[in-house]
């Protein structure tokens, strides 16, 4: 994830490791054609999805395709990426305007904002894959915040937004982008409305 357009912030450079993408795969239909609009061909998001059998198109502002004004010359069914966090509102808005499902890796604090509430009302509350551990971005052991997969529109069959708690399995040691074992096998799903109602 990298972006130099608009109000780009230096701290937006958080490279997603391979193992953080694996838990998302089970929530996607492999027939979906995926657009990764903040990713180069070297992206671990792109590599993981292709390894799992998805057709993936990767574009990035570094290769001349600015997500905010680029019109894809290919067909896609879903957007999957790790956007720059200083522009998360703009990315949610743009994805919603495109009218296709989208999954964004975002800080868990994305839930805590009046501006995002407006976006949730406009495009629907997201399903969330909530990890029990912090992701080690950029080869770091861990960062200071939690990031999780936010998925629009509803991916669940219940007709309402859900949170799926997932154990994030990290490789013991990874030097090549984290392409070892990672899994979301141990998980628990709850309905967001049940959570709010204290059930």
CATH number for position 24: 3.40.50.150
DSSP 85: G
pLDDT tens track for 164-190: 999 998 876 544 444 444 444 455 555
Range of the domain at 166: 10-196
Query: Does residue 4 fall inside a structural domain?
Result: no
DSSP 74: S
- What is the per-residue pLDDT for 14? 80
For the chain, the residue count is 199
Q: Look at residues 134, 139, 135, 133 and name the one whose alpha carbon lies nearest to residue 176.
A: 139
pLDDT tens track for 109-123: 999 889 999 999 999
Number of independent structural domains in the chain: 1
Query: Does residue 1 fall inside a structural domain?
Result: no
Query: Does residue 170 fall inside a structural domain?
Result: yes
Q: Are strands 162-166 and 187-191 parallel, antiparallel or unpaired?
A: antiparallel
Distance CA 176, CA 162 (A): 33
Query: Does residue 5 fall inside a structural domain?
Result: no
pTM summary value: 0.81
């Amino acid at each position: 994830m990298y972006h130099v357009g608009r109000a780009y912030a230096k701290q937006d450079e958080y490279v997603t490791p391979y193992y953080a993408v694996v838990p998302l795969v089970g929530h996607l239909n492999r027939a979906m054609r995926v657009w990764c609009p903040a990713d180069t061909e070297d992206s671990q998001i792109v590599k993981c999805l292709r390894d799992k059998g998805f057709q993936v198109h990767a574009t990035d502002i570094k290769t001349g395709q600015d997500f905010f004004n680029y019109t894809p010359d290919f067909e896609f069914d879903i957007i999957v990426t790790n956007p720059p966090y200083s522009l998360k509102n703009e990315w949610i808005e743009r994805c919603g305007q495109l009218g296709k499902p989208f999954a964004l890796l975002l800080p868990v604090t994305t839930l805590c904002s009046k501006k995002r509430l407006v976006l949730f009302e406009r495009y629907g509350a997201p399903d969330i894959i909530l990890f029990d551990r912090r992701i080690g971005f950029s080869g770091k052991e861990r960062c200071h915040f939690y990031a999780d997969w936010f998925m629009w529109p509803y991916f669940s069959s219940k007709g309402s937004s859900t949170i799926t708690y997932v154990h994030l399995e990290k490789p013991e040691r990874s030097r090549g982008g984290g392409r070892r074992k990672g899994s979301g096998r141990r998980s628990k799903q709850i309905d967001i409305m049940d959570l709010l109602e204290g059930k």
